[in-house]
Chain A
Amino acid sequence: MKKILVIAIIVLGIAACGNNPSGETPNKDTTSSTQGTTANGNPSYDPNRGEGKFTKVDLSPNLDATKAAAGEKVYSVKCAACHKLTDEKLVGPGWKGVTSRHTPEWIMNFTTNTDEMLSKDPKAQAMLEICLVRMPNQNLSDEDARNVYEFMRKNDGVK
């Protein structure tokens, strides 16, 4: 009872100081909703496609050798340090068979939208649990990503 009185008096004292700072909270947080549509405006998240801008990748039955060659160049600078072309895991998984494990959309979304994929996509997260090194975002352009995918196809035997 008396304790309440003590507290009340102290509270009163504080209130008497005025200047209530809680009235203004600067920089109101606005968290964007990702329900329904994804950040890039795509209809909804699809685990086969992953999270990112690529919804449909057109593939020709035969290899596009020019794209594959350009993709190999990107691979040697930005990917080879961690990914072998066999099925051996180095830092990340080997690339042998990767085009049959994932859709082209999933791969291109992962290579261009790495951080978001790692925080959302179950397959990407499962790989992270095995490798324990977050795949770096290597700043691939859309064209780079497409070329690298073609190089993956070549590596998987598409002629």
Chain B
Amino acid sequence: MRKKNLWMLAMAGFGLLIVQYSCKPKNAGNAVSGDAASKAYVAPGKYDEFYNFVSGGFSGQMSVYGIPSGRLLRVIPVFSIDPQTGYGYSEETKPMLNTSHGFIPWDDLHHVEMSLTDGSPDGRWVFGNGNNTPRVARLDLKTFRTAEILELPNSAGNHSSPFATENTEYIVAGTRFSVPMDNSNGDVPINTYRENFKGSISFIKVDPTSGNMSIGFQLRTPGVNFDLSHAGKGKSHDWFFFSTYNTEQANTLLEVNASQRDKDFIMAVNWKKAEDLIKQGKGKKESVRYAHNIYDEKNHTATSKIENEVTVLDVKDFKDLVYFIPCPKSPHGCDVDPTGEYIVGSGKLAALLPVFSFDKIQKAIAAKDFIGEYEGIPVIRYEAALYGEVQKPGLGPLHTEFDGKGNAITTFFVSSEIVKWNIKDLKIIDRQPTYYSPGHLCIPGGDTKKPYGKYVIVYNKITKDRYLPTGPELAQSAQLFDITGDKMQLILDFPTIGEPHYAQAVPADLIKNNSVRIFDINANANPYVAKGEAETKVVRNGKRVDIYITAIRSHFTPDNIEGIKMGDEVYWHVTNLEQDWDVPHGFAVKGALNAELLIMPGETQTLKWIPEKPGIYPFYCTDFCSALHQEMQGYIRVSPANSNVPLMFNTGKNMPKDTVSVIGSK
């Protein structure tokens, strides 16, 4: 008895020890205060406060998260094929991935930008860049689908993209790699970079009504690497700022050779002036080839057109168009504060953070306070453009966003932390570790005129021990901080798709009420639509067979098809007759060297199928649609090329010869 009591007491003490231990954050795992869970908690069935559009990096897609819960809401296929939705597999969507090089099934989506009206997100579109084969995509936020992809000529590594002017007059796309221009002979020695390689910045016009993109003009620049950019705001509305590196113009071992100079440049472009020059006919038309792909919501079909011309302004020919501002050590982020006065350049290798002043830049230009020229472009004296420097902010500054309360938050890759500092006095307010090595960060509206300074989401490049091990590769971690107080508070980790670079977040109200629930079947203009089962049919035209088939809970019409022959090219045009929210039907046929189709209510999508041998091939609905989903199936019979089996198709009629129709019986 006494022994037992002692044991009890020991246990109690031990329990207290455990509890007390867990009170004191000792390491990364428990450096979270007690109310973190409630701050990130969104009750089941309740909505998040913000949509968060996150680049998928090398997945080529864009993911959508709810904030603050970190719930994955959607992955939108953009530059990569997606067998799950049939994107890039269906006949209707294949043209979206066409380029001047042909069909490309993958790209690397780095940055995300919301369309803006008066410097604030308007919730209409979100843009993403294709880094590898330079392209810019526009996603429609009514449907959460890729609506348009525009290829960019004279570019390679479209990294400095897709950033918007205050009314989305333009989306920019700056080349990362300088290269010989498309219409010149590119077969030159690589070490002739200085003579033969040039940079390009594309200014993509966005139609304010349709959103359709077109290249307004390109700036031809000295051969350097363009990294990131942001448009001016308010008083700096007419200007665009681009970070550059490799002003050494190295063509090999850039790790060393592009890190020689003490300072590279922020390039300031007066885009209004460029626009005027183009209006005056000062641009040179050049012959190039690039694809322009548009998805039409009415016929549910994409078309791809090859464009042949681009208008170019060579910046060295126009003295008052472009200026260079020295910026320490290979700047990466180039971020403009909500007032448009302060431009933060983040030198990757610098031990300080320079903040430039728009007013001072204007004064320096007026006073010609230059230290010389770089390939014909005036270089402003560093001190003449500088507002001030944040001293000893951390190691490896990459990106900065703004909280709308006069503060900036910057990620530091090397020292693995985020740092909050005041823009006016350049003093550091707080620093918090992140796990590990943050790249981009996102405050809702944090690069716009009106940030919603409640959270910052940090996208880390390295995960290591943050999650249960999953072999050599781990999902990249995002971390959510509450930034309403002076101290930034970590409240949530969540895994992400691919490798997130930049992201944008906006209040849910901007988007949620405009979300499309169905496509109106009566407005379906797909040439292969069957509006009702009465319009279903199978049409042979030589070796081409078009099957107009409908899907509704829970049967296909037709579901018995005979008379297909070897050598036929079969096109399954599946129309979903449903008119109810969130009732897609799927379609898959055995042996198809393709993917499935996922057809939204009221939509028609087409799967091409070439049967490889005679036999019976089942097809079925892949998306669980009703209690009789497992019954949603059909058979198609393939006969040898010389067979006499007649074309036959129906549903519910093809009964065994010796039985009475079940449906016909009473």
> Interface residues, chain A, CB within 8 Å of chain B?
2-3, 5-6, 9-10, 12-14, 16-19, 21, 24-27, 29, 76-78, 80-82, 88, 90-91, 114, 132-134, 136-140
CB nearest to A77 among chain B residues: B532
CB nearest to B536 among chain A residues: A81
Q: Which residues of chain A have C-beta atoms less than 8 A from B581's C-beta?
A: 137
State whether B34 touches A134 (Cβ < 8 A). Answer: no
Select one of B518, B550, B554, B628 contacting A139, CB under 8 A: B518
State whether B628 touches A16 (Cβ < 8 A). Answer: no
Q: Given the complex of chains A and B, what is the CA–CA distance between A138 and B553 in angstroms?
A: 11
Q: Which residues of chain B have C-beta atoms less than 8 A from A26's C-beta?
A: 38, 41-43, 46
State whether A81 touches B555 (Cβ < 8 A). Answer: yes
Which one, B19-27, B165-173, B438-446, B639-647, is touching chain A?
B19-27
Select one of B8, B23, B557 contacting A81, CB under 8 A: B557
With A16-B23, A139-B520 given, can you name 11 additional A-B contacts, CB distance below 8 Å?
Answer: A10-B15, A17-B23, A26-B41, A26-B42, A77-B532, A78-B532, A78-B577, A88-B666, A133-B628, A134-B553, A136-B579
Select one of A24, A77, A139 contacting B531, CB under 8 A: A77
Q: Given the complex of chains A and B, what is the CA–CA distance between A12 and B20 in angstroms?
A: 10
Select one of A6, A88, A133, A139 contacting B11, CB under 8 A: A6
Q: A19-B33, A88-B663, A133-B628 are in contact. Are A2 and B9 (CB under 8 A)?
A: yes
Q: Which residues of chain A have C-beta atoms less than 8 A from B37's C-beta?
A: 21
Ordered by A's residue number, 15 sampled pairs between the chains whose C-beta atoms are within 8 Å are A2-B4, A9-B15, A9-B16, A13-B23, A17-B22, A17-B23, A25-B43, A78-B532, A80-B534, A81-B550, A82-B553, A90-B652, A91-B552, A91-B555, A138-B580
> Interface residues, chain B, CB within 8 Å of chain A?
4-5, 8-9, 11-13, 15-16, 19-20, 22-23, 33-35, 37-38, 41-43, 46, 518, 520-522, 531-534, 550, 552-555, 557, 577-581, 583, 626-628, 652, 663-664, 666
Q: Given the complex of chains A and B, what is the CA–CA distance between A155 and B184 in angstroms?
A: 73
Q: Which residues of chain A have C-beta atoms less than 8 A from B580's C-beta?
A: 114, 136-139
Q: Which residues of chain A have C-beta atoms less than 8 A from B22's C-beta?
A: 17
Select one of A5, A21, A76, A134 contacting B8, CB under 8 A: A5
CB nearest to B47 among chain A residues: A27
Q: How far is the CB of A65 from chain B (nearest CB, A)?
A: 20
Q: A10-B15, A26-B43, A133-B628 are in contact. Are A91 and B34 (CB under 8 A)?
A: no
Q: Which residues of chain B have C-beta atoms less than 8 A from A6's C-beta?
A: 8, 11-12, 15
Q: Which residues of chain A have C-beta atoms less than 8 A from B43's C-beta?
A: 25-27, 29
CB nearest to A134 among chain B residues: B626
State whether A10 touches B521 (Cβ < 8 A). Answer: no
State whether B518 touches A82 (Cβ < 8 A). Answer: no
State whether B38 touches A13 (Cβ < 8 A). Answer: no
Q: How far is the CB of A50 from chain B (nearest CB, A)?
A: 18
Q: Which residues of chain B have C-beta atoms less than 8 A from A88's C-beta?
A: 663-664, 666
Q: Given the complex of chains A and B, what is the CA–CA distance between A91 and B663 in angstroms?
A: 10
State whether A3 touches B521 (Cβ < 8 A). Answer: no
CB nearest to A128 among chain B residues: B627
Q: Given the complex of chains A and B, what is the CA–CA distance between A120 and B148 in angstroms?
A: 44
CB nearest to B41 among chain A residues: A26
Q: How far is the CB of A71 from chain B (nearest CB, A)?
A: 13
Q: How far is the CB of A145 from chain B (nearest CB, A)?
A: 13
State whether B533 touches A80 (Cβ < 8 A). Answer: yes
User: Which are the 9 A-B pairs with shortest beta-carbon distances?
Assistant: A19-B34, A13-B19, A139-B579, A2-B8, A77-B532, A21-B38, A27-B46, A138-B579, A76-B532
Q: A81-B533, A90-B663, A136-B580 are in contact. Are A10 and B12 (CB under 8 A)?
A: yes
State whether A81 touches B552 (Cβ < 8 A). Answer: yes
State whether B578 touches A91 (Cβ < 8 A). Answer: no
Q: Which residues of chain B have C-beta atoms less than 8 A from A19's C-beta?
A: 33-35
Q: Given the complex of chains A and B, what is the CA–CA distance between A77 and B524 in angstroms?
A: 12
Select one of B16, B522, B664 contacting A10, CB under 8 A: B16
Q: How far is the CB of B65 from chain A (nearest CB, A)?
A: 18
Most buried by B among A5, A16, A76, A81: A81
State whether A21 touches B34 (Cβ < 8 A). Answer: yes
CB nearest to B517 among chain A residues: A139
State whether B534 touches A76 (Cβ < 8 A). Answer: yes
Q: How far is the CB of B484 from chain A (nearest CB, A)?
A: 14
State whether A91 touches B532 (Cβ < 8 A). Answer: no
State whether A27 touches B533 (Cβ < 8 A). Answer: no
Q: Which residues of chain B have C-beta atoms less than 8 A from A21's C-beta?
A: 34-35, 37-38
Q: Which residues of chain A have C-beta atoms less than 8 A from B15's C-beta?
A: 6, 9-10, 13
Most buried by B among A27, A76, A88, A134: A27
Q: Which residues of chain B have C-beta atoms less than 8 A from A91's C-beta?
A: 552-555
Q: Given the complex of chains A and B, what is the CA–CA distance between A25 and B35 in angstroms?
A: 12
Q: Which residues of chain B have C-beta atoms less than 8 A from A133's C-beta?
A: 553-554, 626-628
State whether B521 touches A77 (Cβ < 8 A). Answer: yes
Q: Which residues of chain B have C-beta atoms less than 8 A from A29's C-beta?
A: 43
Q: Given the complex of chains A and B, what is the CA–CA distance between A138 and B627 in angstroms?
A: 18
Q: Given the complex of chains A and B, what is the CA–CA distance between A81 and B535 in angstroms?
A: 11
Most buried by A among B11, B19, B23, B652: B19
State whether A2 touches B42 (Cβ < 8 A). Answer: no
Q: Which residues of chain B have C-beta atoms less than 8 A from A27's C-beta?
A: 42-43, 46
State whether B626 touches A81 (Cβ < 8 A). Answer: no
Q: Given the complex of chains A and B, what is the CA–CA distance between A139 and B581 in angstroms?
A: 9
CB nearest to B602 among chain A residues: A139
Q: Which residues of chain A have C-beta atoms less than 8 A from B8's C-beta?
A: 2-3, 5-6
Q: Given the complex of chains A and B, what is the CA–CA distance between A151 and B410 in angstroms?
A: 66
Q: Given the complex of chains A and B, what is the CA–CA distance between A12 and B12 in angstroms?
A: 11
Q: How far is the CB of A150 from chain B (nearest CB, A)?
A: 18
State whether B19 touches A10 (Cβ < 8 A). Answer: yes
Q: How far is the CB of A7 from chain B (nearest CB, A)?
A: 9
Q: Which residues of chain A have C-beta atoms less than 8 A from B531's C-beta?
A: 76-77
Q: A132-B627, A139-B580 are in contact. Are A80 and B19 (CB under 8 A)?
A: no
Q: Which residues of chain A have C-beta atoms less than 8 A from B42's C-beta?
A: 26-27
Q: Given the complex of chains A and B, what is the CA–CA distance between A136 and B576 in angstroms?
A: 12
Q: Given the complex of chains A and B, what is the CA–CA distance between A26 and B518 in angstroms?
A: 31
Q: A2-B8, A81-B557 are in contact. Are A17 and B19 (CB under 8 A)?
A: yes
CB nearest to A139 among chain B residues: B579
Select one of A2, A17, A80, A136 contacting B553, CB under 8 A: A136
Q: Which residues of chain B have C-beta atoms less than 8 A from A80's C-beta?
A: 532-534
Q: Given the complex of chains A and B, what is the CA–CA distance between A80 and B555 in angstroms?
A: 12
